[in-house]
Structure 1
């Protein structure tokens, strides 16, 4: 055996336990990070007719590519019992109010989730422009349409 190979074997024999220790410690670090999430601050509470909602971005990162378009994830927390009364809803970034009929034919920006809150991959441009707003448009089971926007 060469002297260089012999030195490598001695180095590995002396330090392999450190790699084992690192492999044992890293899962606890990732568990800690997953249990202590840091979310950006929520947007101001909005009132859409009889429905109260608070929108919260899920990260401070910019938009990301998802199924051929740029989106940003949001969580919507509704008043108690409001989610069951909503037939459909959309959240997206636009400079003017989108039309509900055109949104209904598309699958993106659709609110989905359960009675505790709704999630959305909100369609957004890759770079925000002056005048862009975050639009929330909902329709209840009686056919009433409500909309609200937050200035970005």
Structure 2
């Protein structure tokens, strides 16, 4: 039996299907071409030269009931295998290793080319806060360094 009148659905279902096929291409392109903020200034921490970079310029987010901010750390000098443990936190002072080692937030992990960390942070970053890195070597030496937080991250 032939349809005498064309409904809206009959006339537009192919356009809707085409849209559904095109949308994943847009998202794949965005996923394959991410944009990141600039690396921060490189600082020397013992034998290491480290330049951190936030993965975005947004405020910290809640992750397992703690606020964290994601960072990439470029190690431009030094042997990463000499690090026993290393942590990142944002605040007015560095957290002690005994407190940092209690959980898995803030610990650095990755490869020789770069490390990643979910830096422990307050819910909102203030102008008094700094980015702190705490490194413990296999010899038990504790190395601490900090970076000033850029104004773009302070609400």
State the TM bucket, normalised to the shorter chain.
Answer: 0.7 to 0.9
User: TM-score with structure 2 length normalisation?
Assistant: 0.86
Name structure 2 gaps, 5 residues minimum: 150-155
User: Post-superposition shift, 1:80?
Assistant: 5.5
Residues of 2 paired with 1:49 and 1:81: CA distance?
Answer: 9
1:49 corresponds to which of 46, 50, 58: 46
What's the counterpart of residue 27 of structure 2? 30
Matched, 1:94 2:77: no
Paired residues in the alignment total: 146
Distance in 2 of aligned mates of 1:81 and 1:99: 23
Q: 1:66 aligns with which of 56, 63, 66?
A: 63
- Structure holding more helix per residue: 1
Q: 1:91 to 1:36 in 2, by over 3 A?
A: same
1:89-112 Cα shifts (integer Å, max 9, x gaps): 000011023222322233221111
Please, which runs of 5 or more residues in structure 1 have no aligned partner?
1-5
What's the secondary structure of 1:60's corresponding residue?
A: coil
Deviation digits for residues 46-90 of structure 1 (CA, Å, limit 9, x no counterpart): 110111111110111211110101111001111366221111000
Deviation at 1:125, TM superposition (A): 0.7
110, 117, 121: which one aligns with 1:124: 121
